[in-house]
A and B are shown apart, each in its own frame.
Chain A
Amino acid sequence: MNKLYCLILIIFSLFFLQGCTNKLYHGEIETLNSNGQESKVVFYWTKTEPIIGSDKAGPGILMTECSTRRLTFSETEDGIYFFGTQGMDKLADQTPVTTQNIHCGKIVNEMKFTNIQAGAVNIKIECLADIDEFTTLTGRYSPAYIKVSKQPYAFEIMESSNWSFFGEPLDAPSQPECRQ
């Protein structure tokens, strides 16, 4: 009988140790895109806090209303950046991005997604969208994303969370509806 209890305890422990808290962080602002159109902009990321092991989070995703682009903010050893992609982004002076590690955006007030709590997240944007023959342009939609700005955009981030045995990520926010 003791062996049975022991087995049940081991199984329960294994289940329990898989458990984690899933968190979703998101915020939105209304501002201009690089075409000068008023646009809703959503920024979000997720975080997982397991019972055993380190927390993990990100990348952050920035979505602009009516834009075909989804900007990925990746965590690196030096901070959180949106890297420009050759053929897809150009610098504010219209110079195309031609190398791998060009910073086109940055979270200026934090270095790691796992450290960020609900509250202000400040994001700087330094590039605009480039196009080529494979760019999908359909009517109201274009690659134009949130406008280059010397001052960072301030997103007021909200947090929601959920605990589960096997990890149940929360639903990510949708692309803002295109109103143009």
Chain B
Amino acid sequence: MTVDPGKSKTVLVIHGVQTGKDEGQNQHITIKELLENRLGDIPLEYDTDIYRYENINDQAQSKYRKLNKYFNLTSIATYLPDKAIDLIGDVVTARQDTSTAAQIRKGFKQKILQIFENGNPCYIVAHSLGTIYAFDVINELIADNRFFDRTSRRNWPVQGLVTVGSPLGISMFKKSRTKVSPLGVGTKWLRWLNYWDRTDPVVSGAIFGKSLRGYHIAEKYLNASPKQGWVIRDIPVDTGKTWLLAHVAYWENPMVGEGLIDLMLN
């Protein structure tokens, strides 16, 4: 199995904490619109796809939701706790490394390997909680001896990673993710761009704006070893929105689009 650089590129999106069902997750369409807008007249053959896991999470949370419906009689009193279970449940699932989290990782890995088997260069765009799954799965793939030979990118199932609004800097997630898998000896580099808005509370916990000084999210994984093989950049980005609106504004941000284009074309 090898990737053909001349084949159409695939941007694989993994979404973050959501309410609703799988059918409602269509962030790959928004990313496609962003790329179309930013590419200008450059001819690039590519497509976008998405890995959805909202239904897997919902299934795991179903007993709590049934219980909620049983205790609450009015529609509004049912609706709000139901949404809270949906959102908080997603976070707890990822944080506690449950069987549900393992199922999500397995499905995501399969999706990546399917693109790899077709020979298409794959670029991951992960949002919010999806960045946790993307981080785990890419590191699992690197640890697998069949992939990520550092002398050629042709056996790399993932060619680049873009994370947006990642909570990897928050202690509940970073504790169990202390390092990235090294790629070993060679000349090729795996590129990871991490975009974060200073007023995105999911990233920093600071709603009035996080200072840059001493604050590293993804770059904390960098080390001086020549065998590590990762290029990791934290890029503060102005999404044009504030607070929680900033957390969902990355999908349409031109600077994120430019970074993704730079990865895909080079």
Contacts and interface: CB of A to CB of B under 8 A. Distances in A.
Interface residues of B, number: 51
Interface residues of A, number: 52
Contact of A175 (B39, B191, B197, B266): B39
B245 A134 contact: no
Interface in A153-180: 166-169, 172, 174-178
Given A133-B153, A175-B38, A18 B245 contact: yes
Please provide the 6 A-B residue pairs with the shortest distance between their CB atoms, ordered closest to farther.
Answer: A169-B240, A175-B40, A167-B241, A172-B254, A68-B265, A70-B258
Given A56-B199, A134-B159, A70 B261 contact: yes
B198 interface: yes
A48 B238 contact: yes
A72 B199 contact: no
Contact of B266 (A53, A69, A177): A69
A27 interface: no
B197 to A, nearest CB: 7
Given A59-B235, A177-B41, A178-B41, A167 B209 contact: no
Contacts of B159: 134
B63 to A, nearest CB: 35
Centre residue among A47, A129, A135, A174 by max chain B CB count within 10 A: A174
Interface string B3-47: 001000000000000000000000000000000001111111000
Interface string B241-266: 11101000100011100110110111
Contact of B236 (A18, A22, A59): A59
B121 A134 contact: yes
B129 interface: no
Interface in A25-60: 45-48, 50, 52-54, 56-59
A145 B92 CA distance: 46
B231 A72 contact: no
A88 interface: yes
Q: What secondary structure prevails in chain A residues at the interface with B?
A: loop
A92 to B, nearest CB: 19
A93 to B, nearest CB: 19
Interface stretch (A3-11, A79-87, A117-125): A79-87
A167 B232 contact: no
Q: What secondary structure prevails in chain B residues at the interface with A?
A: loop
A2 interface: no
Contacts of B258: 61, 63, 70, 72
Contacts of B236: 56, 58-59, 74-75
A143 B40 contact: no
Nearest to B219: A100
Interface string B176-216: 00000000000111010000011100000001110011100
A72 B44 CA distance: 20
B246 to A, nearest CB: 8
Contacts of A134: 5, 121, 153, 159, 266
A115 interface: no
Contacts of A151: none
15 contacts: A18-B245, A48-B238, A48-B239, A53-B209, A58-B236, A69-B262, A70-B258, A71-B262, A72-B259, A85-B191, A87-B188, A132-B153, A141-B42, A166-B241, A169-B240
Centre residue among B42, B242, B249, B264 by max chain A CB count within 10 A: B242
